[in-house]
Chain A
Amino acid sequence: MSFWDQALEVARIDLRIERRIGDVLRIVLPFAVVALLVFPLALGIELSAISRLGPAVFWAIGILFGMQVALRQTADDRPERRDLYSLLGLDPAARFVGRCLSGSVLMAGFLLVLLIATIVLYSPDLPPGWPTPVFAGLALTAIGLTELGTLAGEVTAGLRNRTALASLIVAPLALPIVIGASQTLESLARDAGILRWLILLVATDLALAVAGVALARPLEEASR
């Protein structure tokens, strides 16, 4: 089986499992929407300010809760399964890529639904021509966040409090992604160029992909 065949097989099984247990759809997504609801109520902010706050709240909640998508239980291999994958000849880099593929699909779907909920709840003033750059930013954020979460998941594999620990690792490292994503819409609203922010996202995604592939074997060894 080629590298990409292995990666696609890992992604396929991952998505099949997610379809069966539905952690993202039934738990993470509703939790994130509740956060969208609770945020303005807890802050007690002026109603007119809520629509201005919408995009920022979306990215903040998207990133923080998106980490739960990347760190979902189905993406955490138990030790005996890791051993089996090693003995079946699964390239650790292919496993990383496969997890990122499936995770990105789930993450993009999660962010898209969250975006729709944000638009309904916050009625943000979206600038003309917003769909294409926003969806591009959303897709790139989904990929970058998944790569970061998958890497963090590998670094913390088998450890106690893996989810909380990995989230702690991911949150600050996600800063370039947060900046690139949020500034894309901000710049569009100000009629300023958005290209540099999209380039920042692309560069971050590429760097994380290269890091993930290059570090896959050492990470696998470290998790034993």
Chain B
Amino acid sequence: MNRTRILLGTAALAVGVGLWFAFTSPVDRLQGEFSRIVNIHAPFLWVAFLAFGVTALASIMWLVRKTPRWDRLGEASAELGVVFTVTGLFTGMVWGQAVWGRAWDWGDARLATTAVMLFVYLGYLALRGATPDPEMRARRSAILGVVAVVQVPLVYFSVYMFRTLHQTPSIRPDGATMPPEMLTALLVNFLAITYLYIALLVARLDVARAEERVAIESALAGDAVKPPRLTEVEDV
């Protein structure tokens, strides 16, 4: 069986396991059932950070090595980062609406900086879409990919820099602030969503390689151009 299919299948299983942990773990006393959203919201955003970090690394590698696979990796990871950010933001807004009574709060620096991060990478993808030449696209994306990653630490440290509505991280170097069962569920989901990201990344890279093969094979336009049939002019 194809490696990618195995990865995707096992990732789906892992996510299923994570969701089982999420729905069987105890809930927060104040937030009730809505506290379970943390098992999706936090891992998705963590993986988004990871994805954009991978894009930055791939961008650096492309600038050093100039090989197409680094460009493919940068693009694929950025796309997934955008998807994971949107999911993380959406689940955060649902959680915010349930817990704080409003989906969006301007007082929440992490929310605002995460949204800005999303648009930075939408701009990255728009830049790629607007550049037809592969070499130029790779170069420009690589430069933007390196610059754009500065947004990631800004988002992460925003809850420390600004006293805002958003809670500070539950898992810190000095220990966790949540009960062991909830922590276990959260960590299982972190691993499951990270694994999901890896599986989707591999699948996306397969597609990118196939797209590149098609582009190369169809590059010779002249092969499809035939000599004119001047004797058929009167048939027009």
Contact = CB atoms under 8 A, between A and B. Distances in A.
A38 B116 CA distance: 8
Contacts of A121: 104
Interface stretch (B22-30, B120-128, B192-200): B120-128
A158 interface: no
B142 to A, nearest CB: 20
Q: Which of B104, B106, B115, B126 has the most CB of A within 10 A?
A: B106
B208 interface: no
B34 interface: no
A27 B104 contact: no
Given A27-B126, A37-B112, A123 B119 contact: no
Contacts of A47: 105-107
Interface string A115-149: 00000110100000000000000000000000000
A26 B123 CA distance: 8
A120 B106 contact: no
Interface in B105-119: 105-107, 112, 115-116, 119
A40 B105 CA distance: 11
B129 interface: yes
Contact of A33 (B104, B105, B119, B125): B119
Given A27-B126, A30-B119, A120 B112 contact: no
A155 interface: no
B104 A26 contact: no
A193 interface: no
Contacts of A120: 93, 103-104
Given A26-B126, A26-B129, A47-B107, A123 B102 contact: yes
Give the interface size bracket for B toward A. Answer: 10 to 19
Interface in B167-182: none
Nearest to A34: B119
A219 B49 CA distance: 52
Given A37-B115, A37-B116, A30 B122 contact: yes
A46 to B, nearest CB: 10
B106 A40 contact: yes
B219 interface: no
A88 interface: no
Contacts of B105: 47
Interface in A1-53: 21-22, 26-27, 30, 33-34, 37-38, 40-41, 47, 50
A27 B102 contact: no
A58 to B, nearest CB: 15
B116 A34 contact: yes
B104 A22 contact: no
B130 interface: yes
A27 B125 CA distance: 10
Nearest to B123: A30
A121 B93 CA distance: 10
A120 B119 CA distance: 16
A38 B107 CA distance: 13
Nearest to B128: A26
Interface string B128-156: 01100000000000000000000000000
Contacts of B107: 47
B116 A27 contact: no
B112 A123 contact: no
A27 B126 CA distance: 6
B155 to A, nearest CB: 13
Closest 10 CB pairs of A and B: A26-B126, A34-B119, A30-B122, A27-B126, A121-B104, A47-B106, A40-B106, A30-B119, A37-B115, A47-B107
15 contacts: A21-B129, A21-B130, A26-B126, A27-B126, A30-B119, A30-B123, A34-B116, A37-B112, A37-B115, A37-B116, A37-B119, A38-B116, A40-B106, A120-B93, A120-B104
